[in-house]
Amino acid sequence: MANKNNIKLILEKTAKRVDPIILKILCSSVFKNHHSVIKHQIEIGGKRLRPILTLLSCRMMGGKTKDALYPAAALEILHNYTLIVDDIIDHSDLRRGRPTVRKKYGVSLANIISMNYAASIFYPLAGVENKERIIRILATTLKTITSGQILDILFEQGGRDNEKYIVKNRYHRISLNDYFGMIGKKTASLTSACAEIGGICANASDKEIKILKNFGYNLGMAFQIQDDILDIFGDEKKFGKKIGKDIEERKLGNIVILLAMDEFSLKNKKQFLSILRKRKISNKDIKEGIGLIKKTNAQSRAYKLEINYVKKAKQSLARLPKNKWNDILSELTDYLVERKA
């Protein structure tokens, strides 16, 4: 059981350390009267999970916060770059209960702002030790996330009718292995990179860095499964996003939806797929889809899969130095599973 107040305090302290660096980097070479536009994505908030993973991994392996602070900022910028693009792709209006960049400033400016974030990823690394190694990891991770994002779109069951490649190459059947491969690329590759870079900043051994990568990967897999569960079963006010958004976006790449499809009768499967393949999905359709899912054991089955990844993450931690930073990472792992937002 995580000490939620302790973890929240650490996350808040991390934001106070990292956010000023991020904002300075993002606003560099930008007209002052455009700063508010550039800063909106970061000022929406967020857990700052990626920088805290980097910093804690560094401290656990004997490094100092200052050794990993700028790489941690780079990783958070990378993450927020993908969120801006995500919200453009998915036509999302809300993130963490506030207007997305796309909603607030429009698609044209959102695309331009995303370019600033992309360019800013590598900005903080000029004077960092092992910068070439870290840059390679950042670039490789971003390319891996791109592959995951492509799969996520191809798992959709309708929409984007004017995008011929997507229509032609859609997956009409998705296995669990397909799903795990997609979230491994889209989500877990970044949390894996965070733990890996934290270890590099502390000059950990290659063996230790490999263990850190596995820890971050399994944590990311658990995190995404929890996100999928919250998308269907969460509290909209706490979650900060519309419940059933994955249904609205016609996604089969949600573990709860995928497991429910496995349990549906032929009639219910046809009914659910007809919702996902509608030209326009209403709130009534979303409610109907969630109602069908709630009749299955998909939520409890998804949670068991999530816990399995948590166990793997903690097994990796058990092979790393035993200190207070290790304990905090273990608590953070529990916190992410127990979260409602």
Please name each of the domains of the chain with its CATH number: 4-330 (1.10.600.10)
Q: For residue range 123-157, what is the model confidence (pLDDT) as tens digits?
A: 889 889 999 999 999 999 999 999 999 999 999 99
Helices 266-276 and 255-263: angle between axes, nearest 10 degrees: 150
Lowest mean pLDDT among 2-11, 163-172, 175-184, 265-274: 2-11
In terms of Cβ atoms closer than 10 Å to its own Cβ (0-12, 13-18, 19+), residue 201 is buried
Paired tokens of 315 = 């097994």
Entry pTM: 0.94
**β-bridge mates for residue 251, sequence order:** 156
Are 52 and 332 spatial neighbours (Cβ–Cβ below 8 Å)? yes
301-324 average pLDDT score: 97
- What is the percentage of the chain residues whose pLDDT exceeds 70? 99
Helices 65-89 and 49-60: angle between axes, nearest 10 degrees: 150
Paired sense of beta strands 98-99 and 94-95, if any: antiparallel
The predicted structure's pLDDT at residue 6: 85
Q: Is 252 helix (H, G, I), strand (E, B) or coil?
A: coil
Q: For residue range 63-83, what is the model confidence (pLDDT) as tens digits?
A: 999 999 999 999 999 999 999
300-327 average pLDDT score: 97
CB atoms under 10 Å from CB of 274, counted, come to: 13
Nearest to 61, CA basis, from 193, 189, 211: 211
- φ, ψ of residue 252 in degrees (nearest 5): -95, -15
Instruction: Report the alpha-carbon distance of residue 192 to residue 54 in Å, rounded.
Output: 10
Q: Is 98 helix (H, G, I), strand (E, B) or coil?
A: strand
Grade residue 236 by pLDDT with cuts at 50, 70 and 90: confident
Grade residue 95 by pLDDT with cuts at 50, 70 and 90: confident
Angle at 123 between CA 119 and CA 129, to 5 degrees: 140
DSSP letters of 175-204?
-HHHHHHHHIIIIIHHHHHHHHHHHHHTT-
Q: For residue range 193-206, what is the model confidence (pLDDT) as tens digits?
A: 999 999 999 999 99
The predicted structure's pLDDT at residue 49: 94
Paired tokens of 175 = 């296995």
Instruction: Report the alpha-carbon distance of residue 213 to residue 144 in Å, rounded.
Output: 15
Residue 227 has pLDDT above 70, yes or no: yes
**β-bridge mates for residue 95, sequence order:** 98
Are 197 and 131 spatial neighbours (Cβ–Cβ below 8 Å)? no
Residue 1 has pLDDT above 70, yes or no: no
Residue 281 has pLDDT above 90, yes or no: yes
Residue 107 to residues 82, 88, 121, 154, 294: CA-CA distances in angstroms? Answer: 15, 7, 21, 22, 35
Grade residue 2 by pLDDT with cuts at 50, 70 and 90: low
What's the mean pLDDT when you consider all of the chain? 95
Instruction: Report the alpha-carbon distance of residue 15 to residue 304 in Å, rounded.
Output: 31
Q: Is 63 helix (H, G, I), strand (E, B) or coil?
A: coil
Residue 178 has pLDDT above 80, yes or no: yes
The predicted structure's pLDDT at residue 341: 65
Instruction: Report the alpha-carbon distance of residue 103 to residue 87 in Å, rounded.
Output: 9
Paired tokens of 132 = 């070439």
Give helix then strand counts, H and E, for the chain: 18, 2
152-174 average pLDDT score: 95
Instruction: Report the alpha-carbon distance of residue 239 to residue 232 in Å, rounded.
Output: 11
The predicted structure's pLDDT at residue 97: 83
